[in-house]
Structure 1
Amino acid sequence: RAGSTGRMHIAIECHACFEWLFPVLEQFRKSWPDVDVDIRPGLAFDALPALLREEVDLVVSSDPEDLPGVKFVELFDYKAVFVAASHHPLAAKPYVEAADFRSETLITYPVERTRLDVFSQLLIPAKVEPLAIRQVELTAVILLLVASNRGVAVLPDWVVREVKYSNDYVTRPLTENGVTRRLYAAVREDDLDKPFMSQLLKLAGEEARKLQRA
């Protein structure tokens, strides 16, 4: 009744978000040791229907839907940015466009295309296909391959914050105006008033702002 115990099962529809969420959960665990926390990759199943069925309690997603009894809480905005080796020919451009990918090996996370910003926001609307696609599970390995000029990538700007200070990489906007996306936490409306849910959402926002300032 005091709201000090409960369950926080989280599904993540953003592959790169595991790295952002772990520090949040580490802080959360210290404040709420009696709350059962679990993380599931939401890309492996239909996360939002699972939220409605109360199989999970929070879904991290960039694709809000109008669902009865579900609130999409804004977490933060981010930019999807192009990443290449510093000596890559496209590094000389002020920004990259869809057509630039026709001659490139695109290194992505191993998820369906519609879940990747580079496809949903740029390549699919432009009907452009990269020369090749290479799928890699870990962000660190993606950056290693990019630095070795084995391909190019598109990642959230907060993921590549260290790249800003490295001579091995360059980052460029996607299109002249850039591509901005918003990340949400989908929560059942009945759970919004639970103290530990409020605390998790607060910590998530604070950690996001730290990443964007870095």
Structure 2
Amino acid sequence: MESIIELRHLRSLLALEETGSVSMAAKRVFLTQSALSHQIRVLEQFYGTPLFERKSNPIHFTPVGMRLLQLAHEITPLATVAELDIAQIIEGGAGELRVAVECHTCFDWLMPAMDAFRPLWPKVELDIVSGFQADPVGLLLTHRADLAIVSEYAPQPGIIFQPLFAYEMVGICAKDHPLASKSIWQAQDFVDETLITYPVPDDMLDLLRKVLKPAGVQPARRNSELTIAIIQLVSSRRGIAALPYWTVMPYLEKGYVVARQIGDIPLQSELYAAIRESDGNKSYLDNFCQIVRERSFADLPGLSPLSTPD
């Protein structure tokens, strides 16, 4: 019997096992839910039997599904190592990867990704360009950085972008704040409030750029460099803020603040990796982006996949 099993099938099965749902697994492997379901149906039609029970939560695999999972656990790590070995044979495996970020909350996911990258590419010198960078792409163009984490896809000559992920920005306030009684905040809810933000240009704050400025709302402002300081100010009713859901989740669990959806369609922010076009063939840069996506979807709640920019 000729096999139809492909690596993408095995990686999808591993994602199903890790996430426990088709929708979350599809996000993990950067497919639509229908595309992932089609992959599963192809395998089930070929073998003539289901791979998992459809109404189980979390997913319960059948004996055939378990056997394919066993194969996935055996094969995919070997394939990954082989792909890295081939890239390092071709390219020498050495290089420099200086990462510049414009995101104050990037370190929640950037450091684990760097830790996972280092043993795979021991000859690549990996470092973070110190300090918050208002123009990280400018550092690429002047060769002071090799990869930039940016929040907006802004095409320009000599630069290519790789999508990382999208995430929800939530509004936070004190538990006894009047806005805590509203499940969804609109632009007008910010009119009489003090908005606490990081000290960055307004066009780098999605709440201002996408929600408040189009509505003509200009609330009073207060800045803080540190996330924990913003949380403390909000908790003591010195103002309200908008932060990534993954950032505020630990403080929600402790009851320091409450989080609310911003807008009828939840406010989404995006992250991209920008690199020089001349470095587009360097496998370690591509692998770093892959590791960022994989670790972030594994560790952070509420992420969504991004499509490749046109």
Aligned to 2:182: 93
Is contact 2:167-2:270 (8 Å) kept?
yes
Aligned to 1:183: 271
Alignment TM-score, normalising by the size of structure 2: 0.63
Q: Which amino acid aligns with 2:269?
A: R
Q: Which amino acid aligns with 2:104?
A: H
Superposed displacement of residue 41, structure 1 = 6.1
Is contact 2:91-2:282 (8 Å) kept?
no
Matches within 5 A, 1:80-159: 80-130=169-219, 132-159=220-247
Q: Which amino acid aligns with 1:25?
A: M
**Which of residues 128, 151, 155 in structure 2 aligns to 1:39?**
128
Runs (5+) with no aligned partner, structure 2: 1-89, 304-310
Q: Which amino acid aligns with 1:181?
A: S
Query: Residue deviations 1:71-100, cap 9 Å, x none?
Result: 211101111110111111101001111111
User: Which has the higher relative contact order, 1 or 2, with Cα contacts under 8 A spaced 6 or more apart?
Assistant: 1
Is contact 2:99-2:148 (8 Å) kept?
yes
**Which of residues 86, 99, 108 in structure 2 aligns to 1:10?**
99
* Separation in structure 2 between the aligned mates of residue 188 and residue 8 of structure 1, nearest angstrom: 12
Secondary structure at the aligned position of 1:151 is classed as coil
* Separation in structure 1 between the aligned mates of residue 169 and residue 271 of structure 2, nearest angstrom: 12
Stretches of 4+ aligned residues off by more than 6 angstroms: none
* Aligned-residue identity in percent: 39
Runs (5+) with no aligned partner, structure 1: none
* Separation in structure 1 between the aligned mates of residue 238 and residue 134 of structure 2, nearest angstrom: 31
* Separation in structure 2 between the aligned mates of residue 188 and residue 3 of structure 1, nearest angstrom: 19
* Separation in structure 2 between the aligned mates of residue 101 and residue 35 of structure 1, nearest angstrom: 46
Is contact 1:3-1:195 (8 Å) kept?
no
Bigger drift between 144-153 and 191-200 goes to 191-200
Secondary structure at the aligned position of 1:31 is classed as coil
**Which of residues 65, 74, 78 in structure 1 aligns to 2:163?**
74
Secondary structure at the aligned position of 1:212 is classed as coil
Query: Residue deviations 1:13-45, cap 9 Å, x none?
Result: 222213321221122233333322232368545
Superposed displacement of residue 142, structure 1 = 1.2
**Distance 1:171-1:41 versus aligned 2 partners, 3 A rule:** farther
Superposed displacement of residue 69, structure 1 = 3.4
* Separation in structure 1 between the aligned mates of residue 291 and residue 142 of structure 2, nearest angstrom: 26
Superposed displacement of residue 67, structure 1 = 2.1
**Distance 1:154-1:45 versus aligned 2 partners, 3 A rule:** closer
**Distance 1:45-1:100 versus aligned 2 partners, 3 A rule:** closer
* Separation in structure 2 between the aligned mates of residue 89 and residue 181 of structure 1, nearest angstrom: 26
Alignment TM-score, normalising by the size of structure 1: 0.89
Is contact 2:100-2:133 (8 Å) kept?
no
* Separation in structure 2 between the aligned mates of residue 125 and residue 42 of structure 1, nearest angstrom: 31
Secondary structure at the aligned position of 2:213 is classed as helix
Q: Which protein is richer in helix relative to its size? A: 2
Aligned to 2:69: none
Is contact 2:168-2:302 (8 Å) kept?
no
**Which of residues 179, 190, 207 in structure 1 aligns to 2:295?**
207
Is contact 2:100-2:145 (8 Å) kept?
yes
Q: How many aligned positions are there?
A: 213
**Distance 1:154-1:213 versus aligned 2 partners, 3 A rule:** closer
Query: Residue deviations 1:153-189, cap 9 Å, x none?
Result: 1011221222342322211111111111221111223
Structure showing greater radius of gyration is: 2
